[in-house]
Amino acid sequence: MEFTCEKKDLQTGVSAVEKIVATRSTLPIIGYILFDAGKNNLKISANNLEIGIELGIKSKVVKDGSVLVPAKTFSGIVSKLPSQNVSFKLTEKGTMKISYDQSNFNVHTLPPDEFPVLPKVKGAKSFNIEPQLFSDMIRQTIFAVSNSEDKYVLTGVLLEFGKSEQSGDPSNFRMVATDGYRLAKRAEKVKLKEEIKGGVIVPARALSEVLRIIDLGKGEEDVTVSFSPEQISFKINNVYLVSRIIQGQFPDYKQVIPKKSSTKISTNTKTFLESAERAAVIAAGSANIVRFEIKNGKLHLFASTPDVGTVDEVLEAQIKGEIKSQIAFNIRLIIDVLKAIKSDRVVVELSENLGPGLIKEDGPGNYAYVVMPIRTQELG
């Protein structure tokens, strides 16, 4: 096996696959990257048995072959190589000789025989989606997944297909995430065959890799999504990523989204985020609790921590409905969604009897974020 490639092309490829490599495993072989050279084409892949990835790298292949290289060591070497053409040759002793200028590395390798084959999704349903749109949908939902393995089904994002059951929602593709305290939903209408219906739960880690690959590639090609009841794959430019699907019943999110509100608050998104982040400094010492109050036609964010201090952030806002509203939220959950909202103005809808708050983009939006309030002594 022998090939030559540009350092920057190789580093881009290795960066894309190394995040998949398992650093701690009872199966040492999945700590390696597979190099497969043939037909003047170099492919590299990694597989941690939950997520697998394969991509092509521009290279001049002198001799076909395949080999496993230790991911951590190889990534460290590639990142430090000079920006030029680098040669790679598998020696008879089973080491990979990496040559540049008058210098070289020799890295121990393993034969590829027992490396787990990257699975192809069998009997899959497929659709294409524009990369920037898919990226936006992931960003606006993924942060709301649960980090607790006790709520395993909530550690993924629901991809739901078909006509929406909610009135006024013309979408045929929705992404939903929740951790039990908040819920994020983004809906879109995409080109979808009628037979594609139902939903699958995709691990958040797989979607975060998809996001990273889209950002790395910045390509114009659509993302091809293919899924079966067991697996899902994403084809992004020259990258193929496959992941298992989380089995289980996702909560009925439609029951959580409030259908009416008693108060609607519209304010500038950037100003709201900056105020929330300042309030969070004081609230950090009191479980991140910030009280939202409406006084004299303005929105107040109030937080208090004994022996630390208080903060009263006042925001200009357009307020409709009940004007003496008061409710408390975990401010970190509010900050998360304000960072994800793309519109200049944001709408906060509050309901009576300390019901959940609904946060939306101002205007005819397709994004909804539900957050549960916190009951405090002041609120009863």
pLDDT of the residue at 218: 61
Domain boundaries, the chain: 2-108, 125-254, 258-371
Burial group, residue 35, by CB count within 10 angstroms (0-12, 13-18, 19+): buried
Contacts of 272 (CB under 8 A, 6+ apart): 315, 338, 346
3-class DSSP state of 283: helix
Residue 366 near residue 186, CB atoms below 8 Å? yes
Q: Could you read off the pLDDT of 169-186 as tens digits, one per residue?
A: 889 999 999 999 999 999
CATH of domain 125-254: 3.10.150.10
Could you tell me the pLDDT band of residue 26, with boundaries at 50, 70 and 90?
A: confident
CATH value of 2-108 in 1.10.1270.20, 3.40.109.10, 3.40.50.1220, 3.10.150.10: 3.10.150.10
Structural fold of domain 258-371? DNA Polymerase III; Chain A, domain 2 (3.10.150)
Q: Rounded to an integer, what distance in angstroms lies between the CA atom of residue 124 and that of residue 121?
A: 6
Q: Rounded to an integer, what distance in angstroms lies between the CA atom of residue 120 and that of residue 243?
A: 10
> Which run of H or of E encompasses 326?
strand 326-330
Residue 21: count other Cβ atoms within 10 Å of its Cβ.
Answer: 19
Q: Rounded to an integer, what distance in angstroms lies between the CA atom of residue 156 and that of residue 247?
A: 10
Q: Could you read off the pLDDT of 320-346 as tens digits, one per residue?
A: 987 767 899 999 999 999 999 999 999
Could you tell me the pLDDT band of residue 126, with boundaries at 50, 70 and 90?
A: very high
Domains 125-254 and 258-371 share a fold: yes
Residue 204 near residue 148, CB atoms below 8 Å? no
Q: Could you read off the pLDDT of 110-119 as tens digits, one per residue?
A: 999 989 988 8
DSSP label of 343: S
Chain mean pLDDT for the chain: 92
pLDDT of the residue at 380: 45
Q: Could you read off the pLDDT of 175-223 as tens digits, one per residue?
A: 999 999 999 999 999 999 988 999 999 999 999 999 999 988 766 789 9
Question: What pTM did the predictor assign?
Answer: 0.92
Q: Could you read off the pLDDT of 47-82 as tens digits, one per residue?
A: 999 999 999 999 999 999 999 999 999 999 999 999
Q: Which amino acid is at 180?
A: G
Query: CA end-to-end span of the chain, whole Å?
Result: 72
